[in-house]
Amino acid sequence: MSQLAFLVNQYNCIGCHACEMACKQQWQTELNWRKVRHFEGGKYPKPVRLFLSLSCQHCEEPACAQACPTKRYLKRDPEWIRRQPWIREREGKFYVVITPTREEEIPGHLIMSEGRLLEDGLVIYNDVVFGKGGRGDYSKHRCIQCGLCEKECPYHVPRRNPEPPDEYSPRWEKCIGCYPLVQQGIPPACARTCMGLALEMKPLETLKGLTDEVPGFRYEGTKPSVRFIPVKSPLPTNIVETPNL
């Protein structure tokens, strides 16, 4: 399986926020790992209203993974994994080098299947284990709450959970691409719930020719894995983001 990407069809999105709620329910998180943004423009008698549903872009070169001092994030891509100086391979197992004297083994099922490294390109935690649904097991999370993952991400995706209801300390969280579901051929919760079919997850290579920029989203050097089907009508020049009510 090659790099997966979110396909966002703005023409179909009605701004219902069901994708946000599906994500929160699937993983029992208090945060919006996915966020629907609202935009307006034009003028009477032809006003324009747009919606943009975004989460983690699962970038080809994720800035969060490089910024994190405890190396919590990794990308499920063999080539990416093997060129990281802080990931070591020994006897078929992979380890995160946190300090010169401390290593932690990456749970094999997070990055491997049938003895081979997974290739879906999803950017996940390597210190948190998720089942098919419900809150992940954060008992071994290494977040030190520095916020560098959010600061260095050009889209400021990671969010701080200051008071998680479990017994584990506050931490920064983000979309995991529903990888436990995707590995079984099940679409992510957000896409599966979207009544307007405005969200899909597809191989990036099948989305060639689609735009990678729309109002409110720029293609940055991290190479985000998201493509868009924009609205068909010409957009006015005064499009602005408006508050979520």
**Tell me: the pLDDT tens digits for 26-40?**
999 989 999 999 999
Average of per-residue pLDDT across 81-110: 95
Structure-token pair, residue 70: 């405890």
pLDDT at 139: 94
187 within 8 A of 202, measured Cβ to Cβ: no
The model's pTM: 0.94
Longest dimension (CA), the chain: 68
Cα–Cα distances (Å) from 176 to 17, 24, 136, in that order, read 18, 12, 11
pLDDT at 245: 63
Backbone region of residue 92 per phi and psi (left: phi > 0; alpha: psi in -120 to 50; beta: other values) = left
What pLDDT, in 10s, does the model give residues 38-77?
999 999 998 999 999 999 999 999 999 999 999 999 999 9
The domains located in the chain, with CATH, are 4-57+188-242 (3.30.70.20), 63-182 (no CATH)
pLDDT at 1: 59
pLDDT at 230: 93
Give residue 165's pLDDT band: very low, low, confident or very high (50, 70, 90): confident
